[in-house]
Chain A
Amino acid sequence: QVQLVESGGGVVQPGRSLRLSCVVSGFAFTSHGMHWVRQPPGKGLEWVGVISYDGSKEQYADSVKGRFTISRDNSMNTLYLQMNRLRAEDTAVYYCAKDLLPNNWGSRGFDYWGQGTLVTVSS
């Protein structure tokens, strides 16, 4: 069955960095774009960014552009989110999610999500 497992969350001071990982199984990882979506405690969903199936293209929300970078290792079935210059407003549960669209650039929505990892930015 399809599984996405995030890790790497924790408490970090403002201005510091953190890297999240998402290990996937049960589907052809190399064929699908992958997204990060976050959810501040008690609030709604916010799309963070996407990386194409082959790692050649990325897009980001304005709120994280220039600070966050998404990458992937297709040989390890792993997605990453490098978060730099963290701010208090980055505090959230971070989910990785699989795009429905195979072998193309774009999106058709997210059919599988991980369970999320909590990032708390606080001094």
Chain B
Amino acid sequence: GDSVTQMEGPVTLSEEAFLTINCTYTATGYPSLFWYVQYPGEGLQLLLKATKADDKGSNKGFEATYRKETTSFHLEKGSVQVSDSAVYFCALTLIKAAGNKLTFGGGTRVLVKP
């Protein structure tokens, strides 16, 4: 079946540090890939997405590139802020999947200290 694996947290960083969260996937078809962010006590927000190989999604200083050859979609940010403290979820969906279902990774908690 389809699955998403992401690094376990928590990841603790100092402000202005470089952040990388690894995400790899297995899929029976050609997936679209997403990163969602969940701030404390809130629902999930879409952070960025990529729909085909070599696409780069970017938003709020975060980037992730769809690497089909390594089945990866790693999230990066060059200089994190305290406000980036959140849980980050990698997810995939297959085109025309029944009910447009998403498959999520387990989430990675990031804590940025001032």
B is bound to A:
no
